[in-house]
Amino acid sequence: MRLALGVEYDGSGFSGWQRLSAAGSREPDGSLQTALEAALSRVADARIDTICAGRTDAGVHGQCQVVHFDSDVVRDARGWVLGTTANLPPTMAVRWCVPVAGDFSARFSARARRYRYRILNRSTRPGLQRQYLGWERMPLDAQAMHAAAQALVGERDFSAFRSVQCQATHARRDLQEISVHRRGAEVVVEVQANAFLHHMVRNIVGSLLVVGRGERPPAWIAELLERRDRTVAGPTAPAAGLLFLGPRYPRGCGLPDEVSL
């Protein structure tokens, strides 16, 4: 049977999603994947390997990461959810579990992925929720940032916004939506694309902050896109402010509405 899980996590203190140890090892390695697979394996009393929708970096959080795995072990959905969560670190939890078709893939069946980046925009750094926020002391023009960001919409070459460690075979991605809006003392960036490059969202946010501070005009983002040169774009925004909202799948996959298109 193939099962899909929705997993939430606080990425603080983890090395990122991807397993760092050899496949099959259940030795703690600081990754979210290894922690999840160890918990699932305890519930199944058998080795469980998982595939996720999108690998997140160290310090990045997840609201609804979707994973799938195969198992011959018979457990009801409640058993998988409660049993796995009981064996996870306190900063991880399984939200739901559903059976899916044998050809479903958490990674390849996804049609989009969505992220949110929160920036506390005030003169003093955060004391509360500091692990979930970026911070900018200079006043930000959220409207200018939003206008600048619209140049990124569409299928584009995002070489200017990929890290030097990115292992993707090419830099073209279809960025479907991006918005920037102010919510009280916070400026919030939300972005959806078919897939993302390594550090792509954080690099986009870092460049939008340059525009928001008035150091560059909104048209600068389009110029960066055309130049395809990471060295002239803005800095990488800190991981803490980034939340993986989750992937999106075609309706009919049997998944909850929150991850359906």
**Residues labelled catalytic:** 57
Residue 188: how many CA atoms within 13 Å on its side-chain side?
11
Q: Are strands 112-121 and 134-136 parallel, antiparallel or unpaired?
A: parallel
Rg over CA atoms, the chain: 19
Residue 70 β-bridge partners: 2
- CA–CA distance, 72 with 145 (Å, rounded to integer): 50
Can you tell me the distance from the alpha carbon of 77 to that of 178, in angstroms, rounded to the nearest whole number? Answer: 35
Which SS3 state, helix, strand or coil, does residue 201 take?
Answer: helix
